[in-house]
Amino acid sequence: MEFSNELLSRLKSSKNVGSVCGAGISQESGVPTFRGEEGLWKKYKPEELANFDAFIRNPELVWEWYNYRKKLISEVEPNPGHYALSEMENLFDNFLIITQNVDNLHRKAGSKNLVEIHGNIMSSKCIKCNRRYNDLPFHENVISVPKCECGGIIRPEVVWFGELIPEDLLRRCYEFLKECQFLFVIGTSGYVHPAASFPLIAKENGAYLVEINSEETNISYMMDEILLGTSGKILPEIVGKIKN
């Protein structure tokens, strides 16, 4: 792909560079996205699986679904898009990934400067005493609801619809968006807030916005440039250009 001189020169001269990521960056690893023809929300109902009331009503069903996703995710590997972002940590003074993904693949690719605003699917916590569990088994035959030593039910430590993102994580995002000079917006449809409004905040503070997505999105209108294609292909090409 050809990149504009403006994109490359702005990127090379930026010290604070960031990336807001969504499910699309993991698509090439084999993790299904949420929206679109093949999306999870076509087959499953978020109101039955991704909110606290649904969990209290039917924790077995919610755990069955999370165990299925944990197993799927444990069997896949990061793709060249994740590795390219991980490499960018070494190319800029400050490079931060803000991800909506709970799939652990940025960490697996070696990224360290990372804010997982929707949590991490491998982490769980007791709804009564908040004790955290990182190593619950997730084989298909585990369909019982895990219980904490205190007797409380354990839940996946992810942010469900209607729940707030932990305040310390949000503060870290907003502080970064104030300083950010260049922001990639990768593989997100831009329907879920607050992530969908992060690019606008960065832009108001002077950042150059570049969207990487296989199609135009709900937030494409905010962008300075849109690169249509898959992130697993485009991101390594960008890294190749700025390393020279």
CB 183, min distance to ligand OAD, A: 15
Under the binding rule (CB under 6 A), the answer on residue 118 touching ligand OAD is: yes
Q: Judged by CB, which is closer to ligand OAD: 9, or 197?
A: 197
User: Which member of 22, 78, 146, 199 binds ligand OAD (CB under 6 A)?
Assistant: 22
What backbone torsions phi and psi does residue 226 show, to the nearest 5 degrees?
-120, 125
**Residue 172: count of CB within 10 angstroms of its CB:** 15
What is the number of alpha carbons within 13 Å of residue 215 lying toward its C-beta?
7
Determine the 3-state secondary structure of 209 from DSSP.
strand
Contacts of 76 (CB under 8 A, 6+ apart): 26, 29, 30, 31, 103, 105
Which x/- pattern over 74-93 shows residues binding ligand OAD (rule: CB under 6 A)?
--------------------
Write out the H or E segment, with its range, that includes residue 94. Answer: strand 94-99
Return the residues of window 27-56 that contact ligand OAD according to CB under 6 A. 27-28, 33-36, 39, 46, 50
Strand partners, 154: 126
Return the residues of window 183-242 that contact ligand OAD according to CB under 6 A. 187-189, 191-192, 212-215, 217, 230-232
**Active site annotation includes 106:** no
User: Which member of 7, 11, 17, 23 binds ligand OAD (CB under 6 A)?
Assistant: 23
Answer yes or no: are the C-beta atoms of 66 and 121 closer than 8 Å. yes
End-to-end CA distance of the chain: 16
Please tell me which residue in 82, 118, 139, 193 is annotated as part of the active site: 118
Write out the H or E segment, with its range, that includes residue 52. Answer: helix 52-57
Q: Which residues belong to the active site?
A: 118
Rule CB under 6 A: which residues touch ligand OAD?
Answer: 22-24, 27-28, 33-36, 39, 46, 50, 100, 118, 159, 187-189, 191-192, 212-215, 217, 230-232
